Amino acid sequence: MTGLSFARTKDGGSLRVWLLSLVMVPIVGIGAAAALEITSHISTVRSDQKVERIVQATVDINRVRADLQLEMLPALTGSLVANPQLRTALGLTPTQTQQLAATIAQVPKLRKSTDAALSTLAARTDLDSLGTRTQAQVKQLRATIDSGTYPHTAFEAGIEVLDTLSAAQNDQTAAAIRIGLDPASNRALIDLAMVTRAVQFAGEQTPFFVGAQFPGVVSPEATAQTLWVQAWGSYQAWSSAILEQTSASTRAVWSKAINSLVVKSVDDIWDQTTGKPTFVGTLPTLKVVLSDAQRNSALSGAQDYSVALVLDSARAQQTAATRALAIIVGLCLLVIAASLAAARWAQRALTKPLERLARQATEVSQGELIDVAISGPHEVRTVARGLSESVNSLRTIQAQAAAVAAGDLDSRVVATPVPGALGAVVHASVSRIVGAIRDRESAQNALAHRAAHDPLTELPNRGEALALIEGALHRAQRSGTQTALMFVDLDHFKAVNDKLGHAAGDAVLQTMSRRMKALMRAGDTVARLGGDEFVILLESVTDEGGCYRLAERIVAAAAEPIPVGQREARIGASVGVAICRDGNVDASRLLLEADAAVYRAKSSGRGQIAVFDEDLRSELADRIGLEQALVNALQRDEFVLHYQPLVDLNNASIIGVEALIRWNRPGVGLVGPDTFIPTAEGSALIDDIGQWVLEAATAQLAEWSSANPALNELTMSVNISGRHLCSAQLPEEVAHVLATSGVAARRLIIEITETVLVDSPIAKHNMKRLQELGVLIALDDFGTGHTSIGQLPSLPVDILKIDRSFVASDEPGNQDLLHLMVAAAHAFDLTVVAEGIEYEHQAHSLRGAQVETGQGFLFARPCSPSEVMEYLSSNPPRPGIGARTHSPRHAARPLQTFPATVVGDVSSLDSAGSGRHGHSAKTS
């Protein structure tokens, strides 16, 4: 038997059977194992695909939730701010109102984004009609918001929709976790669930916060406060959980998001206001509203990163399973072929290399980029060589990804192409990513530069200057050095604009910027605050005298002619110097000190230099104290109005009154406007005071008319400052006070002082809008400013008020000029009012010049409302200025004046011998 077996082995008969039997055993085993492995990998691929669909569903739900949240807040805010009383109660500044209006104006665009996301969600068939239901809810929600009638209903409905979407999103994430993937994918899914919860609670904070600021309007006070505190606490808890329990990469991305400037600034506000159920202030609330979109975007970026991790992990597992399937099939074929060819050859020449190759392939499939050994038969070496080249390609891709992630975009490996079609696709993708990153960096750098620099001179702007000053002061405080700030105000710059044009003015500003920079030391900074105002920041000042000498060089440089085309412009400069010796002030204070110094320099004559000293410090402290006292006066209702009559010069009947402000200052008594109006005009307080005068004067006029219907034709003149005139909100303020008081627009006269009338498109636009309301516009103090008779046809005015200097002068030239101004006014269909009439012969002369109306001490001094009412009750007025014509007057009657008791009551508040108190007797 042994011999027979040996003989058959030699001639191949029994050996083929033995080899076949030998081969069939591993083939059957390998086939069974391969089938199980293939089944397992197919299941893995399907699970991964299902997780991808679920995660994509959460992405679609989250997009709808985030877009709806971004849309709802400005829409609700717009509905609230549309209420004039609420807007007035908020005390928004013009800048804040513009910022809020810009945010509200984004609502249509945000709604389009929400609709697009809803369409995507509605197209999904795996979410049980969630998209179509949400579309209907959003439509109803918008209708409620746009009606503006039930803000609390809109708020609660919006929160309900957001809660529904958040719950659906969380259900999807939980379903993905239950499928059970590899540990890395499960870890990524859990991280995503935690980040999603944190982002959801973060998104609820701003609506609840705003709701808490409007108790009883957006939602019940207790409900809003409770919801806000719960959302804030939940967000903090989930954020802490992310930082403690998630993977290192997720923690890093989340930490970067919550420590970004916009998120941290809003979180700081909420940290400071947690537990305070009352209104925390317009500025913090406005900042939260304006920052909401950026804050949500920053936090959503972390959520997007977590989504990407889950998808990448699932896809990597799917790819690995697919690759493993291919490898298994290939190995099976190789084993079958080798077994059929020769068992011994397979044992000696094929099995070991294949085993080694299989081991290496497994390691590579598990992400180990090992060195692949190339040995064995030619075919095995070919496979090993291909695997080795694939490993090298993967190493190159890995190195490229690491370089891009590290920001090393100029690395040689980034530019190295990977062989093959896949390598070409990967290289093209890396190149596009690198290009996009570089484009974004360039755009960000350009935006940052534009935001911090003046576009005309390329110097740091006001905001950047304040930041630089603040930084210099901090460094000075640490090092114990001195910091100097120079405030440079160009002289005669307006004349250059008026005579040579704005292009010449721009050239002058650019030339002066270059000249000042040429005089600076390395490390010193020149910045432009705006207009013709510059500041120079000097750090580590050791010689205060050197600052003064530098200021002299700046004045000298400004005095040199500046070529402008074929002509030359000549200007000058006044310089104020403020020195901080210990860094113990803030940037705003140092700038205020330098501003006070330059104001003294300009007051001393053009081209002067002034240094901030103790006298100026005392003056500045007094001014700041007075500003605060004026703020308190507005809050405590310390201002009062007195009224000076306007009379018809032909019959001495009263046709109207002019409102003149007084301050009943505690401990002082009645204070004339000379004391406080200049200070108010230097800040936004003048707008608030002007608005108060409008409200008080129209309310008083309405009260008089209600008490005595015979006063229904009496007019009320109110002075508006040049600064207030340029406020975009002025027409709405006037319309509001007219509607509130019920006074007819034709009975209100807005007086604009001619000396402060500027060539401002906003000012002229506001004057035209006031005329469209029916309000009359009076040009006050005509003849003392820059307005010429030739400009009258282009000015939107109805009344011309002749300055008292022309009334008081007996010089023939002035009288001729007065007649010319009256004739010109009548030619342009303007009513004329003469101010400061003190004597009968002045009134007689004005009647001869055909002046219709006058006011002054000859008739009455400013008096209290009760005194005006007492006199008007027995001497009802005639139709006001708006109802009169400009035809010549004849048969004049003797003038009648207020009783002596009325004339003398407030004489202490007016200059002796003057018909009125000039500009200081007004709000401007």
Residue 907, pLDDT score? 32
Query: How far apart are the C-alpha atoms of 552 and 380, rounded to whole Å?
Result: 88
Give me the pLDDT at residue 832, please.
Answer: 92
How large is the average pLDDT for residues 149-167?
75
The confidence score (pLDDT) of residue 921 equals: 38
Give the helix ranges, DSSP H, for 774-858.
Answer: 804-808, 812-827, 840-848
Least reliable range by pLDDT among 90-94, 393-397, 704-708, 853-857: 90-94
If you count them, how many residues does the chain have? Answer: 924
In this predicted model, what pLDDT tens digit does every residue of 555-569 receive, in sequence order?
999 999 999 888 888
Is 570 in contact with 461 (CB distance < 8 Å)?
no
Give percent of the chain with pLDDT exceeding 90. Answer: 17
Q: Find the mean pLDDT for residues 204-215.
A: 72
744 pLDDT band, cuts 50/70/90, is very high
Of 335-349, 683-697, 795-809, the range with the lowest mean pLDDT is 335-349
Provide the pLDDT confidence category of residue 468 given band limits of 50, 70 and 90: very high
pLDDT for residue 899: 43
What's the pLDDT band for 799 if we cut at 50, 70, 90? Answer: very high
Residue 342 has what pLDDT? 60
Instruction: Please name the residue that has the structure tokens 């700030």.
Output: 485
Radius of gyration for the chain, computed over Cα atoms and rounded to the nearest angstrom = 41
How many C-beta neighbours within 10 Å does residue 448 have?
11
Find the mean pLDDT for residues 177-183.
75
CA–CA separation, 367 vs 384, rounded Å? 16
The pLDDT-based confidence of 908 (bands split at 50, 70, 90) is very low
- Higher pLDDT, residue 303 or 220: 303
Q: What is the DSSP secondary-structure string of 417-432?
A: PPSHHHHHHHHHHHHH
Residues of 849-876 as b/e, b for ≥16 C-beta within 10 angstroms?
bbbbbbbbbbbbbbbbbebbbbbbeeee
pTM for this model (two decimals) = 0.45
Closest CA to 831 of 655, 651, 643, 645: 655
Q: Is 148 exposed, middle or buried (0-12, 13-18, 19+ CB in 10 A)?
A: middle
For tokens 């007996």, the residue is: 810
Mean pLDDT of 617-637: 80
Q: What is the mean pLDDT of the chain?
A: 78
- Burial label for 667, CB within 10 Å (0-12, 13-18, 19+), is exposed
Q: Angle CA(660)–CA(662)–CA(667) in degrees, nearest 5?
A: 170
- Which pLDDT belongs to residue 743? 94
Continuous segment of H or E residues that includes residue 854: strand 853-854
pLDDT for 86-124, tens place per residue? 556 555 667 766 766 777 777 888 888 888 888 888 888
Question: Pick from 537, 443, 545: which is nearest to 487 by CA?
Answer: 537
Band the pLDDT of 783: cuts 50, 70, 90: low
